[in-house]
Structure 1
Amino acid sequence: MHFPTTLIAGALFQSSVIAKTQPAQDVLAPASSYSHLHLTHDLLAFHKNLTQIESISGNEHDVGVWLTESLQSQGYTVEKQSLGGNPPRFNLLAWPGGKRNTRVLLSSHIDTVPPFWPYTHNASTGVIIGRGSVDAKGSVATQVLALNGLLESREVSPDDVGLLFVVGEETGGDGMRAANDLNLKPKSIIFGEPTEGRLCAGHKGNLGAKIIAKGKAAHSGYPWLGRSANEVLVAALGGVMEMVKGLPTSEKYGSTTMNIGRMEGGVAANVVPESASASLAFRLAEGTPETLKPLVVEAVENAVAAFVDKDVKASDVVEIIFTSAGYGPIAIDSDVPGFGKPITVNYGTDIPNLKQTVKGQKRYLYGPGSILVAHSDHEATTEKELFDAVDGYKTLILHAMIKDDAREQLRDARRPDL
C-alpha cells in the first residue's frame, strides 16, 4: 500500500504556543551545515506542549501539526507520511541536515491510550502528571532535546541522526508498519518507551484472540430449551486459563500470560443468552504465535465438549478468531556500558513492526518513566527522569556512531582495493 508524503521546511514558531497549521512546501532544508539550525533546549516547555495536546490513537492530527511546526522552526526538514483519517493523521520523519537517510534513527510514538488526563506540573516537587507524560511523549521530548544538544555541541553532524515519530502504536502499530514504505536504512535505531532509564534486552511476544460463544435463546425458567452462550464462554475461558498455566517458561522472559480484556454477553437476566464473546491478549515468553494458536484451539474445543453431541459440533457452539498476526519474544541490543544491568519488559513495542533493512542493524529500547504508571489515571514522570533521559539518549547516540565507525573501518580494512 502506498502512503503519500509531504516535505515541509521553514516557519517561525514559539515553543510555548500551539501554532496554527501552515501550508506545506516542497522545499528541502539547507545541506549539512549548522547555520540553519535554531534549536530549542527548553525540555520542560517542549514536553509540556506535547503532553497538553490530546492525541488518543486515531486523533493524532493536532499533536502531529504542533510537532511538525516546532521541528521545522528549528531547522529540521519534516516529511509527513499520511495514514488518512478525518482529521488526517500522519507519521513524521525529520532530519536536521541534507541527508534524509541517516546512520542513526531515533523513534517513538505520539499517540496515547484513552482517556485524556490533563497536564499538570508541580514545580516544587518536580512531578509532571498527564496522559502521555510517560508513554511516550516523555521519550519523544527527550529524544529531540538529546539530538539538539549533540548538534549544538557539534558532537554529531546534521547528517548523522534523524527522527521518526509514528501514530497508532497503542492500537496495533499501523503507523510503524506504514513507515516501512519510507525506505529508511539506518545502521542503528533507538526506540523510545518507558524503561525507567535502563536499557532493555528484550520484550515478550504478543498475540490477540477473540472467543465467540454461540447459544440458543430461551426463557430463563426453561433453560433446557436453550443453550447459554455465557456458560459456553465461561467454560472456554476456563480451558484456556488452565492451558496457559502449563506453557513452557523462559529464564529471560518468565511465564506466558493471558489477559481477558473484555467480555460481553446476554441481554437480560431472564433470557438464556444467545451470544457472548471475550477478547484476549497473550504475552508470549516462549515460542511463537504459530505454536500457541493450535494449543488455544485445542483447549477451547476440549473445554466445550459438554455442549457437543451427535447433532451439535464444536464449531456450532464456539468460534476462535486470532485478531493479530502476533510475534514471539523480541531480543533487543543492550551492548552499551553505563546503564547498569539490562531489563526485560512484558509490554509490546513497535520494534517488530519495522522491518530490518540493514544487515546487523542495531536496535535499542530506552526511555524515561515507568510502564507501571503508564495507561493509568496516575501517569506521571519527574523533571529528573526527563533530564536524565536526555543524557541517556545522548550516550546511546554517540555509542551507535562509534560502533558504526568501527564497522566501517573494519569493512574498509577487509577490502583488497584499499
Structure 2
Amino acid sequence: MFVLARRPASWMNWAGALADHVIVSRVPSLAPRICKELISLHRHLISTESISGNEYDVGKWLSKHLKHEGWAIETQMVNGDKSRLNILAYPGKVRNADLLISSHIDTVPPFYPYKIQSNDSETIISGRGSVDAKASVAAQIIATKKLLAEKKLKPDDVALLYVVGEEVHGDGMRAANALKLTPKTIIFGEPTEGKLATGHKGMLGFTLNAFGKAAHSGYPWLGRSANEVLVKALTALMQLSLELPKSEKYGFTTINLGKIEGGVAGNVVAQNASAQIAIRIAAGTPDEIGKRVQEVIKAATNEFKTPGHEDEEMFEIVFAGKGYAPVDIDHDVEGFGTITVNYGTDIPNLDKLDGQKRYLYGPGSILVAHSDHEAITLSDLETAVKDYEKLILHSLS
C-alpha cells in the first residue's frame, strides 16, 4: 500500500497529490493526460456529498465544470425545489440530440469520504458514490470528450442528462420528461460489472402504517397495539413472498422489510407503527402484486377488530408511485458480456419513444454499492471509458 509520510491540511489536496502519484507509478490503459483528468473528475464528484435531497452542491460543481469546458448547460428544478437540479449539457447547438447519455448524481446515505490507495498491481478508489453512480458519470463525460476531441463524434450528435433523486423513487428522471427530449438512443449508467444489462427487476415500494390505541402496558386490553397489528401484517407479507410470481430470467420476486418503527416506550401500548417495504418484481405487474398485498394484510389484521368498531381503520398502505414491471433492455452490441440485475434504475421513469434504443452499462459491482466498503479499481474505471466510447460509436453508426 502506498503511504504518504505527511498528509496536507486539505484532504482534497492530499487525494489529488496521490492521484498524480498513481499516474506516474503505473502504466494506465488510457493516455496519462486523460487518465489524470478521469481521476480528477471522479474525485471531485465523490468528494462533494450528494445524498438524495442534498444534491445542490454536486450539481452546481458539475454544471460549472462542464460550462468551463465549453458545454451549453440547462438546469431543471425538480418538484419546484431550487436546491435540486437536473443538468442537461450539450457540446453543440442541439439540445435534443439523437444520442442521450445519462446517469444520476445522488447517492444513498451515509457519506463516506474519498480515498485512493495503490499497491504494485492496482489502484483502488473508495468513497460514497465511487461506484454508484459517479464512476459512470465520470467515465461517460471523459469518453464523450475524448471522441469529440478525436472528431469521431460531432458536437450536435450528443447530450448529457444527469439527474437527482434516483435513489428515492426517481423523482428527478420523472421530472426530466418535461424537457421533451426525443433521442433515438439512450445510454444509462449504473454499475453492471462492465457488462451490458439485458434487463432488471421491477419495483413496488410502499409504507405500511398500522393504527392502535394507546394504553398502560399493565392493562393492554384497554388499548390496541399498533406494533402487534404491524407484526401480523408483516408476517403475512413474508408468507406472501413465497407465492409471488417468478421468472426464468429474473428469478424470484422478493420482499424487503427495509425500515420498521413503532411505539413510544416499553410500558405503553403502541398507538402507531410503520414499515417501509420494497418489492423487487420478477414477473407480473405492480397492480397485480399491490392488490395481493392489500388482500393479505386485510385478512391478517381482521382479528384486531372489536364488536361495534368493524369499520375502524387498522392500517393504511401508501404506495410510492405506480411502480413498474420488469424492464427488458437492449444489448445488441458485439464485444460485451451481458448481465441481468436485481436492482432498479431510472430507465422506466423516462418516457420511451417507439423504436428508441436503451442501453445500461457501468463500471463496478452493485454488490459493493450502498455499503461501507464501496470501491472501484482504476483499471475498471479506465475500461469503462473505452467501453462507453464503443457504445457511443455503435449508437450513432
Please classify the TM superposition score into its range, dividing by the shorter chain length. Answer: 0.7 to 0.9
Of the two structures, which has the highest relative contact order with CA contacts closer than 8 Å and spacing of 6 or more?
2
- 1:352 corresponds in structure 2 to 348
Q: Where does structure 2 lack aligned partners over 5 or more consecutive residues?
A: 1-11, 14-33
Deviations 1:178-230 (A, max 9, x none): 11111111100000001110100111111112222121222222222222111
- Deviation >3 Å, runs of 4+: 84-87
Higher mean C-alpha deviation, range 205-214 or range 315-324: 315-324
- 1:157 corresponds in structure 2 to 154
SS of the equivalent of 1:50 reads helix
Percent sequence identity over aligned pairs: 57
1:370 is displaced (CA, Å) by 0.8
Q: Does 2:138 match 1:141? A: yes
CA–CA separation in structure 2 for the residues paired with 1:182 and 1:301: 41
Q: Does 2:343 match 1:343? A: no
- 1:55 corresponds in structure 2 to 50
CA–CA separation in structure 2 for the residues paired with 1:322 and 1:84: 18
The alpha-carbon distance between structure 1 residues 139 and 315, as it changes in their structure 2 partners (threshold 3 A), is: farther
The question of whether the paired residues in 2 share the 8 Å contact of 1:41 and 1:149 is answered with: no
CA–CA separation in structure 1 for the residues paired with 2:334 and 2:291: 42
Q: Where does structure 1 lack aligned partners over 5 or more consecutive residues?
A: 1-14, 17-38, 403-418
1:102 is displaced (CA, Å) by 1.1
- 1:90 corresponds in structure 2 to 85
SS of the equivalent of 1:235 reads helix
Match of 1:221 among 218, 222, 233: 218
CA–CA separation in structure 1 for the residues paired with 2:73 and 2:142: 16
SS of the equivalent of 2:256 reads strand
Deviations 1:9-63 (A, max 9, x none): xxxxxx99xxxxxxxxxxxxxxxxxxxxxx9971111111111111111221111
SS of the equivalent of 2:187 reads strand
CA–CA separation in structure 2 for the residues paired with 1:75 and 1:255: 47
- 1:387 corresponds in structure 2 to 382
- 1:173 corresponds in structure 2 to 170
CA–CA separation in structure 1 for the residues paired with 2:41 and 2:347: 25
Match of 1:119 among 114, 119, 126: 114
Letter in 1 for 2:356: Q
Q: Does 2:201 match 1:204? A: yes
SS of the equivalent of 1:304 reads helix
- 1:367 corresponds in structure 2 to 362
Q: Does 2:40 match 1:45? A: yes
SS of the equivalent of 2:391 reads helix
User: Alignment length, in residue pairs?
Assistant: 365
CA–CA separation in structure 2 for the residues paired with 1:66 and 1:214: 45
- 1:280 corresponds in structure 2 to 277
The question of whether the paired residues in 2 share the 8 Å contact of 1:40 and 1:74 is answered with: no
1:23-38 aligned within 5 A: none
CA–CA separation in structure 2 for the residues paired with 1:397 and 1:56: 29
1:259 is displaced (CA, Å) by 0.8
Letter in 1 for 2:113: P
CA RMSD of superposed structures (Å):
2.0
The alpha-carbon distance between structure 1 residues 278 and 84, as it changes in their structure 2 partners (threshold 3 A), is: closer
Deviations 1:253-301 (A, max 9, x none): 1111111111111121112212211111111111111101110011111
SS of the equivalent of 2:372 reads coil
1:392 is displaced (CA, Å) by 0.9
The question of whether the paired residues in 1 share the 8 Å contact of 2:127 and 2:375 is answered with: yes
1:212-361 aligned within 5 A: 212-313=209-310, 315-340=312-337, 342-356=338-352, 358-361=353-356
The alpha-carbon distance between structure 1 residues 85 and 100, as it changes in their structure 2 partners (threshold 3 A), is: closer
CA–CA separation in structure 1 for the residues paired with 2:174 and 2:126: 30
CA–CA separation in structure 2 for the residues paired with 1:332 and 1:168: 21
Deviations 1:327-358 (A, max 9, x none): 11111111111112x211111111111112x3
CA–CA separation in structure 2 for the residues paired with 1:282 and 1:57: 20
The alpha-carbon distance between structure 1 residues 283 and 226, as it changes in their structure 2 partners (threshold 3 A), is: same
CA–CA separation in structure 2 for the residues paired with 1:230 and 1:88: 37
If the length of structure 1 is used for normalisation, what is the TM-score?
Answer: 0.84
